[in-house]
């Protein structure tokens, strides 16, 4: 704990003296692949048969509540590179897994920015899989947007903050345009933004019989955004929002809040945010005052809480809560996608259950590697190719990347709903919200 993922036993550092592949572009036209800082990143990983020409990085929080998800995503990237012979089209591609968290904690703003500066300064870096947290993305995107060579492409498997790509009333002044000072977008994601999540969650709540809901958020851009989208959609669907509260890192008790929700007749509590010590206290106080989550008052959570550790971290208080995750759960996949998931679970996870964002992590790596393969090897062309992405029958379904960097089409807006249990996350059903609900969730 506290360090990036260890290299797989069979990985080796890139051999800068290796001979170029005769079928590849002239390796002499590419800058030497120099390593990213060891303070944040693993050593260069490369198993190809010629010197690497380009470098792919991941930028994810290796420690904290999400560490199991991050380990699986990084191993998914390695698996995809091995399957391609450590190549993307004609280019030999090396990999480094970088950590944007502090030891034992979640993402750290200073590390996010330091990592971004390192990617921008290393000419071999043509793409980043990440970030995991939307707040970190807001710091990284503008730095990579102005990197030499036309910017560095980012493809996130997990960012859902609407304001990274689309303007809403809850966005900070100037966003999202202020994130792209060059005027050209360099960021895309394979998961839908939180307006879709709020809409899907409100539709699911309605189907569960929720009629009155008390909504909390953690004050963070992500928490406020998804909570606002949920409130807007809930109101559109005639679910009464009977109270709201924004909580902060130094809050210690939510008993009075839960008592207020009880007095207002709420039959659901919604928490916009992610797994932290404070949000876990919210969950504990909800159960202490309003009873178990399988009882009369349901607990609804966005994907920021989709952690296998949530049950244990909350001493079981989160059990029975319902959370949503973009995409289709591995156990609900069909056809070739299901066959791939089964093979990946055996060969990479050793039978271990998928974490919620592992499949989007694989998809993000594929989108970026496919874009590199189609490109001329330059940063600017990799970005251009990311925005030409059109996937048919992928692990997240069929979708394309829009001009804003968002996935659109049936596979780009689906959410899986999970029950939190002592054994982790149990997939229940999938839902793609109706266009009218999404429009309502977006607000004015």
- Residues β-bridged to residue 430: 416
pLDDT value at residue 24: 42
Beta strands in 78-173 (DSSP E): 87-88, 91-99, 125-130, 153-156
pLDDT value at residue 307: 85
pLDDT value at residue 54: 97
212-217: strand order across its sheet: 240-246, 212-217, 268-272, 298-301, 322-326, 415-421, 424-431
Q: Tell the burial category of 258 from Cβ atoms under 10 Å away from its Cβ (0-12, 13-18, 19+).
A: buried
Give the number of C-alpha atoms closer than 13 A to the C-alpha of residue 438, restricted to the C-beta side: 14
pLDDT value at residue 30: 66
pLDDT value at residue 148: 98
pLDDT value at residue 26: 45
Residues 6+ apart with CB under 8 A from 410: 397, 398, 399, 432
The rounded average pLDDT for each run of 10 residues, N- to C-terminus, in the chain (444 residues) is: 32 37 44 90 96 97 88 96 97 98 88 98 98 95 98 95 91 95 98 95 98 96 91 98 96 98 98 95 98 98 91 97 91 88 93 89 96 98 98 89 92 90 93 94 89
DSSP state of 229: H
Q: Which of 248, 241, 260, 243 is nearest to 198 (CA)?
A: 241
The tokens describing 237, both together, are: 């669907």
Q: Which of 361, 352, 350 is nearest to 394 (CA)?
A: 361
d(CA 220, CA 302): 13
The tokens describing 57, both together, are: 């990085």
pLDDT value at residue 355: 85
Angle formed by the axes of helices 194-207 and 221-236, nearest 10°: 40
pLDDT value at residue 393: 85
- Residues β-bridged to residue 54: 93
Domains with residue ranges and CATH for the chain: 27-191+334-412 (3.40.50.2300), 194-326+414-442 (3.40.50.2300)
pLDDT value at residue 334: 86
Give 333-348 pLDDT, tens digit per residue: 888 889 999 999 999 9
Q: Which of 223, 237, 321, 326 is nearest to 278 (CA)?
A: 223
d(CA 235, CA 221): 21
pLDDT value at residue 20: 37
pLDDT value at residue 220: 86
């Amino acid at each position: 704990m506290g360090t990036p993922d260890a290299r797989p036993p069979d990985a080796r550092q890139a051999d800068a003296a290796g001979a170029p592949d005769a079928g590849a572009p002239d390796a002499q036209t590419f800058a030497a692949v120099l390593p990213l800082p060891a303070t944040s990143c693993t050593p260069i990983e490369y198993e190809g048969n010629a010197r690497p020409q380009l470098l792919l990085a991941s930028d994810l929080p290796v420690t904290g509540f999400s560490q199991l998800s991050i380990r699986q995503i990084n191993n998914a990237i390695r698996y995809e590179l091995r399957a391609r012979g450590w190549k993307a089209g004609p280019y030999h591609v090396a990999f480094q897994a970088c950590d944007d968290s502090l030891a034992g904690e979640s993402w750290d703003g200073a590390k996010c920015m330091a990592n971004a500066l390192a990617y921008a300064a290393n000419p071999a870096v043509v793409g980043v899989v990440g970030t995991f947290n939307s707040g970190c993305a807001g710091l990284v995107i503008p730095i990579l947007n102005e990197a030499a060579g036309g910017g560095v492409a980012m493809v996130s498997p997990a960012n859902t903050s609407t304001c990274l790509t689309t303007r809403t009333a809850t966005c900070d002044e100037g966003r999202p345009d202020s994130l792209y000072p060059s005027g050209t977008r360099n960021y895309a994601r394979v998961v839908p933004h939180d307006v879709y999540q709020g809409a899907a969650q409100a539709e699911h709540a309605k189907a569960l019989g929720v009629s009155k809901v008390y909504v909390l958020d953690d004050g963070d851009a992500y928490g406020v955004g998804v909570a606002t989208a949920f409130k807007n959609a809930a109101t559109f669907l005639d679910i009464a929002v009977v109270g709201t509260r924004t909580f902060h890192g130094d809050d210690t008790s939510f008993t009075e809040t839960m008592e207020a929700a009880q007095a207002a007749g709420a039959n659901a509590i919604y928490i916009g945010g992610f797994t932290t010590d404070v949000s876990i206290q919210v969950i504990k106080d909800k159960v202490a005052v309003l009873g178990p989550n399988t009882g009369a008052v349901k607990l609804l959570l966005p994907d920021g809480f989709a952690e296998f550790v949530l049950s244990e971290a909350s001493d079981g208080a989160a059990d029975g809560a319902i959370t949503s995750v973009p995409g289709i759960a591995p156990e609900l996949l069909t056809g070739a996608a299901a066959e791939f998931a089964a093979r990946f679970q055996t060969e990479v996870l050793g039978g271990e259950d998928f974490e919620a964002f592992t499949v989007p992590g694989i998809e993000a790596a594929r989108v970026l590697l496919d874009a590199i393969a189609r490109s001329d090897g330059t940063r600017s062309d990799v970005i251009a190719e990311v925005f030409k992405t059109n996937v048919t029958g992928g692990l997240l379904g069929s979708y394309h990347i829009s001009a804003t960097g968002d996935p659109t089409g049936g596979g780009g807006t689906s959410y899986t709903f999970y029950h939190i249990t002592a054994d982790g996350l149990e997939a229940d059903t999938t839902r793609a919200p109706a266009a009218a609900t999404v429009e309502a969730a977006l607000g004015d």
